[in-house]
Amino acid sequence: MPAVLPTYARADLVFERGEGAYLFTTAGERYLDFTAGIAVNVLGHAHPKLTDALCNQAQKLWHTSNLFRVEGQERLAERLCAATFADTVFFTNSGAEALECAIKMARKFHSATGAPERHRLITFEGAFHGRTMATIAAAGQEKLLSGFGPPMPGFDQVPLGDIEAARAAITPETAGFLIEPIQGEGGIRNPGWPFLRALRKLADEHGLLLILDEVQSGVGRTGRFFAHEHAGIVPDILAAAKGLGGGFPVGACLATEHAAQGMTVGTHGSTFGGNPLAMAVGNAVLDIVLEPEFLAHVRDTGLRLRQQLAELSDAHPGMIEEVRGEGLLLGLKCSPPVGDVVAALRAQHMLAVGASENVLRLVPPLNIGEDEVREARGCLDAALTALGTDAPAAAAHHG
């Protein structure tokens, strides 16, 4: 058995260094990276400002624990609150941990406000919230739950985008809704901004909390700081991670003062969460992402890439069924098996990642320019051409 637990079907590539939107293998081959560590490296690889922030902090202090005040945490939390709906932030090391905090907070809210029976969350089919016991139960997918014993109770699932099903699922035990504004792993599925608005209204009518999982859609990915801003609504609780540390593990649970009222001293914790290294990098990410031009650049680049994808779809009839997504959280619903498309792209030295519903995810660094968009189009064009003329061979090779 391999020394590394074989839970991943890894591509046989080893990278030695990165620069912007490019990765270089140990053999010196260059790849255009539209995976970005699964929507993580929002500023690309080895961004000098992030490298400086990390190196400077590394020379001063790495870790003290949350027994003490951490200045970087206070600063990052204040900035996140100033830029969003939130009044308060809990820092974690990953997306799943941010969700765990969100789930605990929602239960605690009702407990603290006199309705401890309200502990169940309504979640949505196709969701992905992480790999902990609570988050696999929240996602409710057999492929995540199988073999791991009884799923943690407290989640009721309804079809994505079905407001009547969401309404019908409310019981006296319901604490709130948990939803990704745009499903990432689920295949870049957007239930629509009107649906999010309807869910907000439904939550308000029933005294329920709206929890958003913006682990993938947040931190500028869709062209807004958080994707729910497109819908013109605010959540009560929000989980963020992936882009927040630009490649350094940082997660956060953001909440309003109202929703967070049960989370008093001793109710939650994390040894590593919000440590000085993570906070230094998180603050450096925000220095750039919160610049006024940055999100406009993401929206422009997203539109440009989308235009290229629409043209490619026309140029390769029968290969692309749909272009999905917002900003630089884009998906191509493919006709050929998406694994074959990923492999064909890799042969063109471009990296992209699959998602459910046979969708190819394009989640490049958010600071790419026109050159990278043009190059991506060229790689996709060549990959689709190769697949179109040689589909069975490609399938045999990589299936």
**Helix axes 338-347 and 370-389, enclosed angle (nearest 10):** 120
Q: Which of residues 87-146 bind ligand PLP (CB under 6 A)?
A: 94-96, 99, 128-130
Tokens of 60: 């001063």
Q: Is residue 213 a contact point for ligand PLP (CB under 6 A)?
A: yes
Q: Is residue 241 a contact point for ligand PLP (CB under 6 A)?
A: yes
Residue 45: partners with Cβ closer than 8 Å, 6 or more residues away:
17, 18, 19, 20, 21, 22, 23, 33, 247, 365
Q: Which of residues 20-39 bind ligand PLP (CB under 6 A)?
A: none
SS3 call for 123: strand
Question: How big is the CA angle at 359 (ends 356 and 362), to the nearest 5 degrees?
Answer: 120
Any binding-site annotation on 131? yes
Any binding-site annotation on 117? no
Judged by CB under 6 A, the number of residues near ligand PLP is 15
Tokens of 356: 């459910």
Return the number of the residue (94 or 301) whose C-beta is nearest ligand PLP.
94
Question: 213 catalytic, yes or no?
Answer: yes
Find the catalytic residue in 33, 34, 213, 333.
213
Chain-centre distance of CA 339, in angstroms?
A: 21
Return the number of the residue (255 or 394) whose C-beta is nearest ligand PLP.
255
Q: Is residue 326 a contact point for ligand PLP (CB under 6 A)?
A: no
Residue 182: partners with Cβ closer than 8 Å, 6 or more residues away:
188, 189, 190, 216, 217, 222, 227, 325, 326, 329
Find the catalytic residue in 33, 155, 225, 242.
242
Any binding-site annotation on 128? yes
Question: Least distance from C-beta 324 to ligand PLP, angstroms?
Answer: 15
Question: Least distance from C-beta 38 to ligand PLP, angstroms?
Answer: 7
Find the binder of ligand PLP among 126, 184, 223, 327 (CB under 6 A).
184
Return the number of the residue (185 or 375) whose C-beta is nearest ligand PLP.
185
Any binding-site annotation on 19? no
Residue 307: partners with Cβ closer than 8 Å, 6 or more residues away:
none
- The side-by-side arrangement of strands in the sheet containing 120-124 is 88-92, 251-255, 237-240, 209-213, 174-179, 120-124, 155-158
Do 361 and 348 touch, CB atoms closer than 8 A? Answer: no
* Contact track, ligand PLP, 290-319, x by CB under 6 A: ------------------------------
Return the number of the residue (223 or 336) whose C-beta is nearest ligand PLP.
223
Question: Least distance from C-beta 242 to ligand PLP, angstroms?
Answer: 6
Burial 190-210 (b: 16+ CB within 10 A, else e): bbebebbebbbebbeeeebbb
Question: 52 catalytic, yes or no?
Answer: no
Q: Is residue 155 a contact point for ligand PLP (CB under 6 A)?
A: no
Question: Least distance from C-beta 309 to ligand PLP, angstroms?
Answer: 21
**Residue closest to ligand PLP, measured at CB:** 95
Instruction: Work out whether strand 329-334 and strand 359-362 pair parallel, antiparallel, or are unpaired.
Output: antiparallel
Return the number of the residue (32 or 241) whose C-beta is nearest ligand PLP.
241
Question: Least distance from C-beta 251 to ligand PLP, angstroms?
Answer: 6
Question: Least distance from C-beta 350 to ligand PLP, angstroms?
Answer: 21
Question: 128 catalytic, yes or no?
Answer: yes
H helices of 316-369, in order, are: 338-347
Chain-centre distance of CA 302, in angstroms?
A: 17
- Of 153, 180, 176, 332, nearest to 241 by C-alpha is 180
Any binding-site annotation on 216? yes
Give me the DSSP letters along 9-45. ---S--EEEEEBTEEEETT--EEEESSHHHHT-TT-B
Return the number of the residue (360 or 373) whose C-beta is nearest ligand PLP.
360
Residue 365: partners with Cβ closer than 8 Å, 6 or more residues away:
20, 21, 33, 36, 41, 42, 43, 44, 45
Question: Least distance from C-beta 39 to ligand PLP, angstroms?
Answer: 7
Any binding-site annotation on 215? yes
Find the catalytic residue in 128, 155, 177, 248.
128
Give the interface with ligand PLP as residue ranges (CB under 6 A): 94-96, 99, 128-130, 180, 184-185, 213, 215-216, 241-242
Binding residues for pyridoxal 5'-phosphate: 95-96, 128, 213-216, 271
Catalytic residue positions? 128, 213, 242
